[in-house]
Structure 1
């Protein structure tokens, strides 16, 4: 049996559970659905688009603090335990938005709780197990695991928009909360296991205890190259996505047309995941990242000016989604290849804080630019430049270290 079949025969359950868990978790659901709640929240409470998008900044700050802690907890106590607890708490907290009473303070507090309690649903946790189960085809396995962001991101946007029209925005939040509670939680309970969990007997041999500690990683130049590079990259990709409906609306498209075009981001994320994962298994990942992240920089420019058409906007959304499909799995892959799995959760969790900085502030900055200028064009131009700059910085990473050269945990 080939290595490919052997790895997927043993690890397919983990990939499937991770795809569902990531797709219904903190990473995609708020970013993909916030845009469709802007109109009803504004109509109900009179909030501005920038005030609503500020919630994503607050959530980002919470994820920046709690992401590393969730990763450390996964390293120390086991990733399965962290995942199961966090999925349940994330669903309950998401349903809490249905109780919003017009107080922005309480609205923002709920976003803080969402980030704190739901941080264990981020790719930080799920990808730890995937990396341990896969080696030769790790990139493809990560791509498949992260498909959930595209599948459920697009579906959740349409699902939330449908629920808002049928039962109102309050019950729409409850409907969203049912996704992690009824889909992800039972699937993770029955299928999700790490190679180091008790009772796992057919796990492949892995170097789960070999690699850098967080302190050692912080002392390397590569850590800071990754951290700095992914701030502009995540800003450029994360900024437009929650604002897509508003961006397209400023170009003369009605609400339904804007939602339909924006939903195309889902298939393009899927394409980015699969192609990116396949490529990084075969070629140097920073070089792949440069090509796949630099090309979509033109998508931002396609959405600027007065000549935006439905056709050009569809092309732009597909390219932005393609970049969104590449960024997560490449970051997870690079952390595992350069730093090993010994403290993967802590290192990736800390790295995710920088990633979340750009992704979280991006929507708010885009919203503020629109409020101040009446157009998203300036933000889109900034996004194009940011993608090029971040992608170019990754080219300084150098070759992968040999797995056997990584330090080993003596206690293990």
Structure 2
């Protein structure tokens, strides 16, 4: 278990840490290329949508053949996408690299694939805690990588910074060795439930559908804030260092938030934890919009939002494992996450689209508030009781 947690945590640290700082590239890329903010935002929106769309398939392959092969391909796509992002000179090429390639890469190197291995190798009574540890590692990556990426951009330029990160993404390959599952390597194991049956069972379950509604809101909020907050702060006259510090604080406090939610998920109903997270996010955004905007208010907001940032991930995936079992955990987690990424697509794209149309991010901020309240309500009907399946008929 220790090897799985260590390697899984380091993989998530790299994959989530690199992407968390993409908002730092919005200003230099759009200014250098002469693009609108919507061009950059649309590529990030494609990235999130591609991540979500490819997630169930990456999860299905990881469930059937093990995570190792999926992680190798994901790491290679990550490096290629970052290099393509640096070299793209048109909006179409930028959307293909920063959008499609990086989205597919993230589907094979982040939570759904890693959580499938954790679910199969950690006892149920410690599963939520273990998922919290992995999520906390990804959060630490966000804290660690943002100042590193900001320094790389300042010292070496935005293009060279992307080349360096492309090399860093390849480190996922040796780490994937720690997530090898010999029993899945050949795909020879006999499944106790077919993929189709698992899909029909999950999609027909009300709690699964309510989880997807909540996760849609999670994606909308965090990706809008992560990509557009640096530009929002600069528009209001704050120094670039404030945005860098804010993103780093989000990553730092996310470490504590994800670990706390994973630990609490072992003791309290996870639906209550999820509802509280979404409601507190809305309250934090309202206060942030109403108080005077200063570096101090930004740092307080970043710390609060950081604590709530990915704290939805451990309880959401733990509910899926608890209700449906672990055989298809990566695939089912990927389906729920697809809803998250549809929300991410809309959050990041609407941020750029409505900014270009109105000259302000205010409308999207208030949409985020309303959606947080909706998600708090949507998670209350979720039931966490494990499904009891009829035994499979024996062979004649």
TM-score with structure 1 length normalisation? 0.87
Q: Is the 8 A contact 1:269 1:321 kept in 2?
A: yes
Task: Give the one of 198, 211, 215 matched to 1:213.
Answer: 198
Task: Provide the residue aligned with 2:207 in structure 1.
Answer: 222
Q: Distance in 2 between matches of 1:313 and 1:285?
A: 29
Pair 1:147 & 2:136 matched: yes
Pair 1:136 & 2:121 matched: no
Task: Give the one of 83, 86, 90 matched to 2:74.
Answer: 86
Q: Is the 8 A contact 2:245 2:299 kept in 1?
A: no
Q: Distance in 2 between matches of 1:251 and 1:131?
A: 45
Residue 311 of structure 1 deviates from its aligned partner by: 1.9
Spell out, residue by residue over 1:115-137, the C-alpha distance to the aligned partner (whole angstroms, 9 max, x if none).
23442112111100111122111
Residue 407 of structure 1 deviates from its aligned partner by: 5.6
Pair 1:320 & 2:310 matched: no
Q: Distance in 2 between matches of 1:382 and 1:87?
A: 35
Q: Is the 8 A contact 2:136 2:257 kept in 1?
A: no
Q: 1:325 to 1:229 in 2, by over 3 A?
A: closer
Structure 2 SS opposite 1:124: helix
Task: Give the one of 91, 95, 102 matched to 1:104.
Answer: 91
Q: 1:226 to 1:407 in 2, by over 3 A?
A: farther
Count of aligned positions: 386
Structure 1 spans left out of the alignment, 5+ residues: 1-10, 200-207
Task: Provide the residue aligned with 1:173 in structure 2.
Answer: 162
Q: Is the 8 A contact 1:132 1:195 kept in 2?
A: no
Pair 1:16 & 2:3 matched: no
Q: Is the 8 A contact 2:86 2:163 kept in 1?
A: yes
Task: Provide the residue aligned with 2:65 in structure 1.
Answer: 77
Q: Distance in 1 between matches of 2:242 and 2:105?
A: 35
Task: Provide the residue aligned with 1:298 in structure 2.
Answer: 283
Q: Is the 8 A contact 1:66 1:116 kept in 2?
A: yes
Task: Give the one of 158, 180, 186 matched to 2:174.
Answer: 186
Q: 1:19 to 1:79 in 2, by over 3 A?
A: same
Q: Is the 8 A contact 1:98 1:173 kept in 2?
A: yes
Structure 2 spans left out of the alignment, 5+ residues: none
The CA RMSD measured in Å over matched residues stands at 2.3
Task: Provide the residue aligned with 2:248 in structure 1.
Answer: 263
Q: Distance in 2 between matches of 1:117 and 1:325?
A: 19
Q: 1:331 to 1:407 in 2, by over 3 A?
A: farther
Spell out, residue by residue over 1:240-294, the C-alpha distance to the aligned partner (whole angstroms, 9 max, x if none).
1111211222333111222222321011111111110110011111111112331
Q: 1:194 to 1:136 in 2, by over 3 A?
A: farther
Residue 356 of structure 1 deviates from its aligned partner by: 0.7
Q: Is the 8 A contact 1:231 1:356 kept in 2?
A: yes
Structure 1 runs of 4+ off > 6 angstroms?
A: 408-411
Q: Distance in 2 between matches of 1:352 and 1:410?
A: 33
